[in-house]
Chains A and B, each alone.
Chain A
Amino acid sequence: MAKKRYMQAINEALFEEMERDPKVILYGEDVEISMFGDTTGLLDRFGRDRIWNSPICEATLTGMAVGAAAAGYRVVLHMMFSNFIYTGFDAIANQMAKLRLMTGGQVKLPITVLAGYGAGSSNAAQHSDTPYPVLMNVGGLRVAVPATPADAKGLLKEAIRGDVPTFFLEATGRGGEQGEVPDEDYTTPFGVASVPREGTDVTIVSMGTMVKPAITAAAKLSEEGIEAEVVDCRTLVPLDEDSIIRSVEKTGHVVVVDEARDRCSAASQIAAVIADKAFPALKAPVKRVTVPDVSMPYAPNAEHAVLPDANSIVSTVQAMLSGS
């Protein structure tokens, strides 16, 4: 094990998978110079037959990923900011997600789409979205939202080796954070949540950018004698429902924290799953800590006012446990 930054772990995964399989290709806007640092150095190692800059034309980039994957390549498409997924959404929703079904299983589409997501840096409304709810709803797509360097590396390697189109959403705001990463070649399975902190009084379900505030909140609650268990979903499609239910059955209280807008969020899906499958265990209604149904404002104070953080998680848990 060695300490590595989140973006460094993603970069290593790309190097290792491109080294491992010559059919892995990577393209996207400015991947040669690399805005986030995740594709740094790949051009020098692999050359322009394997990684190259594309024009800014998302509708074509997503469609080309489908064609190149159908014709035998393992495509990694970098879409920079996740808001740009919307610009390329036709080929995602109408082709990528549906082609396997529509062709009766004649095609596999090994496509990994990378994009940075999340707010908190005054990037304003068009560079700050958390777009996974729409991706979860399309069907036929996997969605990974790693919170730690180790999970980022393992999930990305698993995504690239898999045959299902996968969205790998990078918590760019956490790109510089460090964590222990195994030295050996490893992958992290989809559909398996982790429990970064165990507890008995309340479950805090979290994902991606929200895992760290959830852990911070749990530490604060512990000072008050409340032991929170933090579940990190790691992937939203597939979702590890069993781990969530198991934790809720242990604690009887649950708060779901999500950086997506509240309506039809990952949190509302998880809340519905809990209501369906763990209702008898619940001692209080499921609570969600999410972004209200607004676009992200620019001004730092206004932005932070709508983002979930450790304090809003703590106060939600306190209110729940006090019965108010």
Chain B
Amino acid sequence: MTNVNAGPTPEQLLDMYEKMLLIRGVEKQLSADFKAGQLPGAVHLYVGQEAVAVGMCEHLDDTDWITGTHRGHGHYLAKGGDPRPMLAEIYGKSNGICKGMGGSMHVADFSKGILGANGIVGGGLAITAGAALAAKLDGEGQVAVCFFGDGAANQGVFMETLNTSTLWGLPMIFMCEHNTYSEFSPTDTVTAGELADRARAFGMPTTVVDGNDVTEVWKAAGEAVARARNGDGPSFIEAKTYRIHGHIEAEVHFLSSTYRDEKEIEEWRQRDPIDRLRAQLLSSDVADEAQLAEIESRVDELVEASEQFAQTGEPASEKLVFDLMSVTP
């Protein structure tokens, strides 16, 4: 078992750097694709929050389960999902990970334990509890992690799953990404009190971390995952972070006014999780410029290959809709 007090190893730090870069690269590509009018549907981008998914998933295996949010590309990629079929999915192609049937808000790869992004705010909470229940019954030390936002913490099902998972000692981790906005509303205008207090009320181990510091996320996640694997029940982590892009890329086209100022966004850009990790890797001599440049060019190539894979895919099957919704085996 990982000793979290010692912090991530150099290999783990470099792996996390590469994963965070991949998420950033894919999201930037999708932002450009959206602007170019190439995507059929909406995309909610994870730029700025990469350390949360990556710091958590570094502790997980393919046999562990996660659920994501509508802002779910980062969770999928952090858990080891392949970016090529993910991009194809967002393009609505038959070579998409869900054959073009789900799109951006539903990217899933069950072979990697990715139960899916989810278009319903809070929709993953009970699904994760169910997967954690299965893991507990299987008794093989698997865990289930729910990524959800501060907005989802206002859903009733949050209280229900805090209660049920604690009561039944489920190997579940509540990974709350407090990204400061609930869609277009500042969180403090829609949320009373501290989110962590809600979990604390159930006697659940609770940690609040800087979500833009991947090492801090990694440490809290490691402790929570270890507790769950040991049969010591659920944990709650709140990662304070910030959504650099809008709620959806299309918002500039339909919102009649802005809802946050550039200065605030710029302040959070100064705390960019990838820049911070890069500086840390260099200052602690984990890597030099040449090594980082090699990782960066490898990520660039993968993003380009993924874009190519998506754009050259065949259109989705129209018949498949009926096959998959059939109620007669």
- Report if B81 contacts A (CB, 8 A): no
When the two chains form their complex, are residues B156 and A59 in contact, meaning their CB atoms are under 8 A apart?
yes
The residue on A at minimum CB distance from B144 is: A67
Stretch of A101-109, A116-124, A226-234 contacting B (4+ beta carbons < 8 Å): A101-109
Q: How far is the CB of A74 from chain B (nearest CB, A)?
A: 11
> Within residues 277 to 301 of chain A, which ones have a CB less than 8 A from any CB in chain B?
none
Closest 10 CB pairs of A and B: A67-B130, A63-B126, A71-B134, A104-B99, A104-B98, A64-B130, A57-B160, A67-B127, A102-B102, A68-B130
When the two chains form their complex, are residues A63 and B127 in contact, meaning their CB atoms are under 8 A apart?
yes
Q: Which of B106, B137, B156 has the most CB of A within 10 A?
A: B137
Please report B residues at the A interface, Cβ cutoff 8 Å: 65, 67, 96-102, 106, 108-110, 115-116, 118-120, 123, 125-135, 137-138, 144, 156-157, 160-161, 163-164, 167, 320-321, 323-325, 327-329
Contacts of B101 in A (CB 8 A): 101-105
The residue on A at minimum CB distance from B167 is: A55
When the two chains form their complex, are residues B137 and A164 in contact, meaning their CB atoms are under 8 A apart?
no
When the two chains form their complex, are residues B102 and A104 in contact, meaning their CB atoms are under 8 A apart?
yes
Given contacts A55-B160, A103-B106, whether A67 and B327 have CB atoms under 8 Å apart is no
When the two chains form their complex, are residues B102 and A103 in contact, meaning their CB atoms are under 8 A apart?
yes
When the two chains form their complex, are residues A73 and B324 in contact, meaning their CB atoms are under 8 A apart?
no
Q: How far is the CB of A275 from chain B (nearest CB, A)?
A: 23
* Total inter-chain residue pairs, C-beta < 8 Å: 146
Interface 1/0 per residue, A83-126 and B, CB below 8 Å = 00000001100110001111111110000000000000000000
Contact of A91 among B96, B98, B123 (CB under 8 A): B123
Contacts of B127 in A (CB 8 A): 63-64, 66-67, 70, 91, 95
Q: Which of A68, A102, A163 has the most CB of B within 10 A?
A: A102
When the two chains form their complex, are residues A94 and B123 in contact, meaning their CB atoms are under 8 A apart?
yes
When the two chains form their complex, are residues B108 and A67 in contact, meaning their CB atoms are under 8 A apart?
no
Q: How far is the CB of A143 from chain B (nearest CB, A)?
A: 9
Contacts of A106 in B (CB 8 A): 98, 108-110
The residue on B at minimum CB distance from A191 is: B328
When the two chains form their complex, are residues B137 and A25 in contact, meaning their CB atoms are under 8 A apart?
yes
Contact of B164 among A60, A140, A141 (CB under 8 A): A60
CA distance in complex: A307, B98 (Å): 46
Q: Which of B163, B324, B327 has the most CB of A within 10 A?
A: B327
Given contacts A102-B106, A106-B108, A163-B329, whether A63 and B96 have CB atoms under 8 Å apart is no
Contacts of B65 in A (CB 8 A): 67, 71
Q: How far is the CB of B150 from chain A (nearest CB, A)?
A: 19
CA distance in complex: A309, B277 (Å): 73
CA distance in complex: A195, B267 (Å): 73
Can you list 7 contacts pairing A with B, beta carbon distance less than 8 Å? A54-B164, A59-B156, A59-B160, A71-B135, A94-B123, A104-B324, A105-B99
- Report if A72 contacts B (CB, 8 A): yes
Given contacts A59-B160, A65-B130, A73-B134, whether A95 and B327 have CB atoms under 8 Å apart is no
Given contacts A66-B127, A164-B327, whether A103 and B116 have CB atoms under 8 Å apart is yes
When the two chains form their complex, are residues A66 and B130 in contact, meaning their CB atoms are under 8 A apart?
yes
When the two chains form their complex, are residues A60 and B160 in contact, meaning their CB atoms are under 8 A apart?
yes
Contacts of A157 in B (CB 8 A): none
CA distance in complex: A102, B101 (Å): 5
Q: How far is the CB of B258 from chain A (nearest CB, A)?
A: 31
- Report if A261 contacts B (CB, 8 A): no
Contacts of A10 in B (CB 8 A): none
Q: How far is the CB of A81 from chain B (nearest CB, A)?
A: 19
When the two chains form their complex, are residues B137 and A63 in contact, meaning their CB atoms are under 8 A apart?
no
Contacts of A190 in B (CB 8 A): 327-328
The residue on A at minimum CB distance from B108 is: A103
The residue on B at minimum CB distance from A97 is: B325
- Report if A182 contacts B (CB, 8 A): no
> Within residues 138 to 155 of chain A, which ones have a CB less than 8 A from any CB in chain B?
139-142
Contacts of A185 in B (CB 8 A): none
Contact of B131 among A68, A91, A101, A104 (CB under 8 A): A68
- Report if A237 contacts B (CB, 8 A): yes
- Report if A62 contacts B (CB, 8 A): yes
CA distance in complex: A68, B128 (Å): 8
- Report if A69 contacts B (CB, 8 A): yes
Known: A25-B137, A55-B160, A64-B129. 14 other contacts (CB 8 A): A63-B123, A66-B130, A67-B115, A67-B127, A68-B130, A68-B133, A70-B130, A101-B101, A102-B101, A103-B98, A103-B108, A104-B99, A104-B100, A107-B108
Contacts of A62 in B (CB 8 A): 126
Q: Which of A106, A141, A237 has the most CB of B within 10 A?
A: A106
Interface 1/0 per residue, A71-82 and B, CB below 8 Å = 111010000000
Given contacts A57-B163, A60-B129, A104-B100, whether A140 and B327 have CB atoms under 8 Å apart is yes
The residue on B at minimum CB distance from A91 is: B126
